[in-house]
Structure formats: C-alpha cells, structure tokens
Amino acid sequence: MKKRMTLVAVMLLVISLVGLFAAGSAEQKTAKTEIQFWTWRPEDVDFYNSVIADFEKANPDIKVVQNAIRNTEYNTVLAASLSGGSGPDIFQTRAYGGLLTFSDSGYLENIEKWYPAVTNFPEAALGGAKDSKGNIWGVPVIGQTQLVYYNKAMYDAYGLKVPATWNEFLNNCKVLKNKGVTPIANGSKEGWIVETMLGSVGATFYGGNDFFNEVVAGKTTFEDPRFIRAIEKLGELKPYLPPMYTGVAYTDMQAAFFNEMAGHFLGGSYEASYFKSQNPDLDFDIFAMPGEKATDPRYVSVYADMNWSLNAASTKKEAAAKFLAFLASTEVANRFIKDLGNVAWAPGADASSSPFIQKVLELQKTSTPYIFLVGFRYQQPTGSALFQSAGQGFFAGELSAAEVASNVQRGIATYYEPFQK
Amino acid sequence: MNGKSLRKTGTILMFVTPGLLIVVVFILMPLLMSLFNSMFNWNQLIRAEFVGLENIKKLFNTYPYKERFFNALGNNLRWFVLTMAIQNTLGLLFGYLMARRILGHEFFKRVFFLPVLFSIVAVGFLWGLYLRPNGLLNAALAAVGRTDLQHAWLGEARYATLSIIMVNIWRWIGFPSLVFLAAIDSIGQEYLEAAYLDGAGEWQVFWKIVFPLIIPAITVITVLTIIGSLNVFEQVYTMAGLDGAPNYATDTIGTLFYRTAFGSVDSGSPEIGIGSAISVVIYLMTFFFSLFSIIFTRSKEVEL
C-alpha cells in the first residue's frame, strides 16, 4: 500500500515537472511578453481588438490578451482578483470614488511614474483620476456631458425653436403633448436616471459652479434654497413625462426617443452613438437647459468616465506601460471620437470628424461638475444613492423637494466633515 | 485498533470526505470568513483594525444602516407572510383538488409545475416586460375597459414588492402543490373511506384527517418558505435592480447585503465590514427561524 502511494507521488511530481519545462520552452520559442487587458465593455470588443492589432504590429514582442467583463459585474470580479494578488496587468478603472476603492487599497501603480505626460490632460479629466493628495492613479480616457437631446425633425414639423428660456422649453413640451407626442422620454424606474435628470436640468437652476464649490467646501448645504429650487424645477416636468413614468425604464426611454415617439431625452453624451446605431435616420440635436431668463447661464454637467490603470502587483509593468502609452495617444483618442462617438480627453484629439462632439465641446464651455458623482460619491451613503432614491420618491409624489434636499443633507452629513462643523 | 476496523474507518472516510470537503470549502469557510470580516474595519478592500462587534452595533443603531436594514427586513417579512398566505394556501388547495382526482388533474399537475423549471432570470426579465407601463398586463386591463386599474406595477412603491411576490408565486406555486399532492396521496385510502362511511363531510375529512397527517409536508414547505423569504435576491435583482428601487420599496436584506458588501456601479463604493455583518445576521436569522418552525410544527405532528 505504502509502496504504491510513493509511486503515485513520484509520478505526479514527474508529470508536473515535465509540464513546467514544456511551458518554459514554449515561452522561449515565441519570446513574447503576454499582458492581460480588462475592460467592462463587451460591446466594444471589436474596437479594442483593432486597437490591439495596431499596437502589436508596432510592438511585435508584446501580446495583449483582452478580457471584457459585463459592466455590472466588473468591479466585483476585478476586486476579487486584485485582492487575490493576481488580476490583469492593465485595465479600465472607474473615475472618482470608484477609482479610489482600488487605489486606496494599494492595488494600483502611481500612473505619473509610468506615463509622465498624463499631467498634460485637462484638469476636469484628471479630477476623476486623482486622490485627495493629488496622486494620479489612471490615465483619463473619455468624458461625459449631461444635456438635453431633442428631435429636430419634430421641432421643424411643429414649428418649434430651440428654447431660450425655461418657459419656452415647457411651451415646446406643451405643443408636443397636444400633438400626441410624449414630450420627454425619461422615467424614474431606475434611480440613476433621476440623477442624470438633475445633471441635465438642475445645474442651470442651482447655479452651476458657485453652488458646487460652496457645497463642497461646506459653506452651504443641500438645503440651500437654490438646490431645492432646482428639484422643484424637475417637478415642473412631471406633466410632460410619459404616462406612468415611475415604471418607465432606461431601455424604454431610449427606444421611445430613437423610435421618434418622444421629443426630448434628458441624458448623457454617451447616448448619441447608440441612438444613431438604432435609427440611422433619426434627426436629433442637443442643447443646454435654459434658465428663467434668456441671459441666465445654461449649464451642462460634466464628468470623467473612465481611466486606464496599471496593476501594482503586475510582473510585466514595462510592457503594460508601453500599451498604456499607446492607449493614451492622440491616435487612439481620435478613434474613440470617430468609432465610438465618445468625447476623448487626450490632448490634441481632433473632434472635426464628429459634428456631434464638436457641439458637445461647445456646450461644455459653460459646464459644472456632475455634482454627486464628482463631489459626493466617495463614502456611503453616497450623495448619488441618497439623491437617486429620494428623487424617485419625489417623482412618485411621496416626497417634497425640501424633503429630498434634507434626506441628501442628512445622509452626507453622517461622514462629510465640512457638514459637521 | 486492529487492521479490520482501520480499514472500515478508511472506507467510511473515503465516502464522507468529498462531501465534507465541499461543505467545508463552500459553506463553512465562507460563513466563518464573513463572521471574521465583520469584526474588522475596512479601508476600501483592505482589512484594517479589529473592531469586534462594532459593525453589527452600527448596523442596528446608526442612520442610515438601521433604517435601511429594518426597511429591508420588513419587505422580507412581507415576502414570508404573502407567500405563506397566498402561495402555500393555494398550493394546498391545488394539491388537495388534484388528490381528489378532479377532471384534468394530470394536466394541471404538469401545468402548475412547469414554471418551477423556468430560469429565474428569464422569468424576472419576461415579467418585467409584462409589467411595464405599456406592457401586457396594462394592455389586458385596457382591453377589458379598465384603464382605471392600470399602474406602473414595478415603479410604484405600493405595488412594486407585491408585483414581484406575485410573479414569484406564479413561478413557484407548482412546488408546494406537488409536495402536498404527494403527502395527501400517501394517506391510506382506508382512513378516508372510514371517515366518509362514518358520515364525515368533505370539510371535516380535510381538517380532521388530511391536515394533521400532512403536517410533515407543511413543515418542509414552511421551512423552505422561511429560508426562501430571507434569501430573496434574484427575483428583486432581475425586476427592480440592486438599489431596491423605487426609493427602497423593493429592498430586501439580500439586495441590501449585496449593495453594501460589493457596492453598486451607479451609486456607491463597497463597505465590506457592514456587508459581512449583514450576511452574519441573515445566516443567524435563517438558522433560528428554521429551527423554531421545525420544533413548532413537529409538536403538532400526529402518528397513525
């Protein structure tokens, strides 16, 4: 019995050693460094494959293996593999609080060390990649803008003009409603949609950067009349939302807009390429929400959406950094603009291939940070979580604007020091 | 120990070890790990200092954890009460009717059980479509001229949890029906015949003879309902998302746990300490409620 066990053990040892040597010689033969590259965009696998192909052509000694994980599961999978000491060499990271989850845990390389040119990126982009001490943990990729989409063909057909004031906007909605068209596609079934509506509509009414800077510094609170007024303005949209809008989900909203059943869509610049792909004939344009007076500044809310980061535990950082530099190049940024319709941050990126992005950049001249994501999504309960749920209560008629504001304020004050003074 | 008994022990070990390993690795270890993790402060994904029961205390005492937890637990309670009251009562009725061999009972047996075999994600997705404002249910209401009864079923706090529970009952009712049918079928015909000969009516036969004899089946279904109601997750996740939308109306301790421990893409970062504390509480509740209901119903069992 004992003899047989020894025999089995020896055989196992031999087999594993043979395997080891075989692997070693195979590696020697190709002499390629293989790096793992993760994204949360299964939709864009082809796009990244073509980017990788170009990179590999210029760097024949490096092989990039792409792995796309579903958006909703990405953070969990990434966290599990990084905390297990493994994980990809180079990967997409979220911006703001979602990035700090990984950088504070010590899983990321300080990116300035590997790509010094990152400091040339615009400040609005770097805001999503920095921690409170100013360390940069990722190369910003794209930015998003919350604004108003409108169906241009409908505007032309019903003789409407791009509104110069809030009342003109409501009036346009009224005309569309009388014509039997849903004026605004949005619903409140998903909380994050409620937050995007604040980004598209609210910023103009709470007064953009003045309020943002004051509330971040703790000089005012969310119970400020300006913020309550912004929520009340969202309430004025209720008659123009779809019937039973509390049950209308994101995909229903998108379909209503690209199928030309709704006249407006309050949302992010990331929608445009999807709208176009679903209905190439859709004639739409964008504007920033006007205020009470035509002279009021019209704000769009802007945020950084995605970074490239390096794994601190990677054994192939040199190769990964080469790929990082390629991803951060103007060349790839231009492809983000052209192929994906995204507003890419890289300095020198050329938006002339996309009139839509040129228009977004034009609107960005009066922009303010997307308030809860940029300022208050670092600790639980996040400003986003608080506003999204209370906002649903508001659209359902269960909470007043003042109650929404006080819910948000109370939740954030449990940890946010400037509110505790 | 002689050679023979050693060999016997070896044989027994050989059969027990694989199962034991699975239980230890996939059930005991994660359980102990969550208990362990719940006793630490966490700096993002890194375990920091030991804090003992501080996370559990925080869960029960501080805003907003306390409000979120008891709101979610209240919804789990609704799941339990409504599932017991509607699904299991109807299941008992269906089981009894099928055992009485009503017309088409073989057909009903299969039809009732069919949805149990469906994937929960597919059921959630499809019913999510049916319950949309312009979905099948509202269209049916419009077709019979009752537009006044139309609602945003998953978007109104009043109806959202109720709607998801109803979908789950639709999916799962075949299971208690079949268990009760089998239990009633196993009662000897002679007892029922004797009762009928003695002049007992249908109602009396059911309450005095059938019901006491199927208590073991009722125990099983009750325990499964308790466990199921405390572990509700997929149904809510597929139909209302992780955030307990709208405004926490559909939140359960399962979704609250997931959101807290792993974070939610659209709203926030993970808090592993508190999340682990929630998972420990879920485990303890499931254990004690199941134990309690087994003891309680066992005392009601009768032997023939």
Among candidates A191, A243, A398 on the partner chain, residue whose Cβ is nearest the Cβ of B245: A191
Q: Are residues B257 and B129 both part of a single domain? A: yes
Residue B234 in contact with partner chain A when CB distance is under 8 A = no
Answer yes or no: do B104 and B226 share one domain: yes
pLDDT band at A20 (very low <50, low <70, confident <90, very high): very low
Residue A16 forms part of a structural domain = no
- For residue B33, the enclosing domain spans 3-37
**Which residues in chain A are contacts of B154 at CB distance < 8 A?**
189, 247
A183 domain-assigned: yes
Question: Do the domain assignments include residue B195?
Answer: yes
Establish if B49 belongs to a structural domain.
no
Residue B261: give its domain's CATH number.
1.10.3720.10
Cis-peptide, bond into residue A297, ω within 30° of zero? no
Residues of chain A positioned with their CB less than 8 A from the CB of B270: 75, 79, 101
Which string of DSSP letters, residue by residue, matches B101-160? Answer: T-TTHHHHHHHHHGGGGS-HHHHHHHHHHHTSTTSHHHHHHHHTT-GGG---TTTSHHHH
| Chain B contact for A353 (CB, 8 A cutoff) | no
| Contact with chain B for residue A99, Cβ under 8 A | no
What is the band of A6 on the pLDDT scale with cuts at 50, 70, 90?
low
B256 and chain A in contact, CB less than 8 A = no
In a domain, B43, yes or no: no
**What pLDDT does A15 receive?**
52
Cβ <8 Å between A247 and B156: yes
Q: Which residue of A has its CA nearest to B159?
A: A247
**Per-residue pLDDT, B304:** 59
- Name the residue of chain A whose CA is nearest to B64's CA: A411
* Res. A43 pLDDT band, cuts 50 70 90: confident
- Judged by CB atoms closer than 8 Å, whether chains meet at A380 and B266 is answered as no
| Residue A367 near chain B (CB below 8 Å) | no
Residues in chain A: 421
Are A102 and A166 contained in the same domain? no
- Out of A94, A100, A189, whose CB is closest to B245? A189
Structure tokens at A57: 């052509």
Taking CA–CA distances from A190, the nearest residue in chain B reads B245
Residues B25 and B114 in one domain: no
Structure tokens at B275: 């999340």
- Check B156 against A396: CB less than 8 A apart: yes
Residue B268, pLDDT score: 75
Query: CA A275 → CA A251, A254, A338, distances in Å?
Result: 11, 8, 15
If asked whether residues B64 and B107 sit together in one domain, one would say: yes
The answer, for A358 touching chain B at a CB cutoff of 8 Å, is no
Q: Does residue B156 belong to the interface with chain A, where contact is any CB pair within 8 Å? A: yes
Dump pLDDT digits (tens) for A263-312: 999 999 999 989 999 999 999 999 999 999 999 999 999 999 999 999 99
* pTM, rounded to two decimals: 0.89
B75, B104: one domain? yes
Q: Indicate if A392 and A291 belong to the same structural domain.
A: yes
Do A205 and A244 lie in one domain? The reply is: yes
| Minimal Cβ distance to A247: which of B63, B64, B132 | B132
Q: What's the confidence (pLDDT) of residue B298?
A: 78
* Residue A26 pLDDT grade (very low, low, confident, very high; cuts 50, 70, 90): very low
Residue A383 has pLDDT above 90, yes or no: yes
Contact list, B128 vs chain A (CB under 8 Å): 249
Same domain for A217 and A126, yes or no, is: no
B274 to chain A: which residues are within 8 Å by CB?
380
Are residues A188 and B154, on separate chains, in Cβ contact within 8 Å? no
Does B113 lie in the same domain as B12?
no
pLDDT given for residue A190 in this prediction: 94
Q: Confirm or reject contact between A381 and chain B (CB < 8 A).
A: yes
How does residue A27 score in pLDDT terms, banded at 50, 70 and 90? very low
Q: How many beta-carbon pairs below 8 A join chains A and B?
A: 143
Interface test with B, best of A246, A406, A420 (most B CBs within 10 A): A246
Q: Does a structural domain hold residue A135?
A: yes
Query: Above 90 in pLDDT, residue A76?
Result: no
Q: Are residues B271 and B198 in the same domain?
A: yes
Shared domain check, A199 and A252: yes
> Same structural domain for residues A118 and A148?
no
Number of domains present in the structure of chain B? 2
Pair (A100, A212) in one structural domain: no
Could you give the angle at which helices B215-230 and B174-185 cross, rounded to 10 degrees? 160
Taking the CA of residue B143 and the nearest CA in chain A, the distance in Å comes to 17
B residues 1..40 contacting A (CB < 8 A) = none
Q: Is residue A36 part of a domain?
A: yes
B124 and B11 housed in the same domain? no
Taking chain B (304 residues) in runs of 10, the rounded mean pLDDT of each run is: 82 92 91 92 89 93 93 97 97 94 90 93 95 95 95 95 96 96 92 89 90 91 93 94 93 94 79 94 90 82 66
Report the DSSP pairing between strands A90-93 and A33-39: parallel
Q: What's the confidence (pLDDT) of residue B24?
A: 92
On whether both B22 and B145 belong to a single domain, the answer is no
In this structure, are residues A111 and A118 in contact, taking their beta carbons and an 8 Å threshold?
yes
CB spacing of B262 vs A79 below 8 angstroms: yes
DSSP string, A169-223: HHHHHHHHHHTT-EEE---SSSHHHHHHHIIIIIHHHHTHHHHHHHHHHTSS-TT
Q: Does A293 share its domain with A322?
A: no
Identify whether residues B14 and B59 lie together within a single domain.
no
In chain B, the residue whose alpha carbon lies closest to the alpha carbon of A373 is B267
The CATH number of the domain holding residue A50 is: 3.40.190.10
> A379 to chain B, minimum CA–CA distance in Å?
7
d(CA B40, CA B255): 22
Cis amide bond preceding B246, omega within 30? yes
CA distance B271 to A29: 46
A369, β-bridge pairs: A302
The alpha-helical segments, DSSP class H, found in A64-151 are 71-83, 97-103, 111-114, 123-126
Query: Does residue A11 carry a pLDDT above 60?
Result: no
Helix H or strand E segment including A8: helix A2-30
**pLDDT-wise least confident of A9-13, A173-177, B38-42:** A9-13
Q: Residue B132: list chain A partners with CB under 8 A.
A: 247-249, 252
Pairing state of beta strands A142-151 and A139-140? unpaired
Q: How far is B274 from chain A (nearest CA, A)?
A: 11
The predicted pLDDT at position A31 comes to 76
* Chain A residues closer than 8 Å to B273 by CB: none
User: Based on the domain organization, do A91 and A212 belong to the same domain?
Assistant: no
Question: CB A380 to CB B132 under 8 A?
Answer: no
A246 shares a domain with A394: yes
On chain B, the residues whose CB falls within 8 A of the CB of A74 are: 265
**Confidence band of A7 (pLDDT split at 50, 70, 90):** low
The answer for A 166-205 residues in CB contact with B (under 8 A) is 187-192, 195
The residue with tokens 């504007």 is A287
Answer whether residue B95 is part of any domain.
yes
Nearest chain A residue to B241 by CA: give it. Answer: A190
Cα of B71 to nearest chain A Cα, Å: 13
Q: Is the pLDDT of residue A23 over 50?
A: no
A63 pLDDT exceeds 90?
yes
Q: Does residue A262 belong to the interface with chain B, where contact is any CB pair within 8 Å?
A: no
Contact between B44 and A379 using a beta-carbon 8 Å cutoff: no
| Nearest CB to A190 within list B134, B138, B241 | B241
- Cβ of A398 within 8 Å of Cβ of B62? The answer is no
Query: In total, how many domains does chain A have?
Result: 2
| pLDDT tens digits for range A94-131 | 999 999 999 999 999 999 999 999 999 998 899 999 99
Burial degree of A189 (CB within 10 A; 0-12, 13-18, 19+): buried
CA distance linking residue A227 with residue A394, whole number of Å: 14
Structure ipTM: 0.89
Residue B48 belongs to some domain of the structure: no
Range of the domain at A99: 32-141+305-328
**One domain, residues A97 and A189:** no
Could you tell me if B87 and B128 lie in one domain? yes
CB contact under 8 A, B267 and A388: yes
In a domain, B126, yes or no: yes
State the nearest Cα–Cα gap between A321 and chain B, in angstroms. Answer: 25
Contact B269 A380 (CB under 8 A): yes
Residues B27 and B58 in one domain: no
CB contact under 8 A, A79 and B264: no
Mutate to test the interface with B, among A132, A196, A388 (most CBs of B within 10 A): A388
Instruction: Please indicate, yes or no, whether residues A87 and A98 belong to a single structural domain of this protein.
Output: yes
Distance from CA of B193 to the nearest CA of A (A): 54
User: Residue A256 is inside which H or E element, if any?
Assistant: helix A250-258
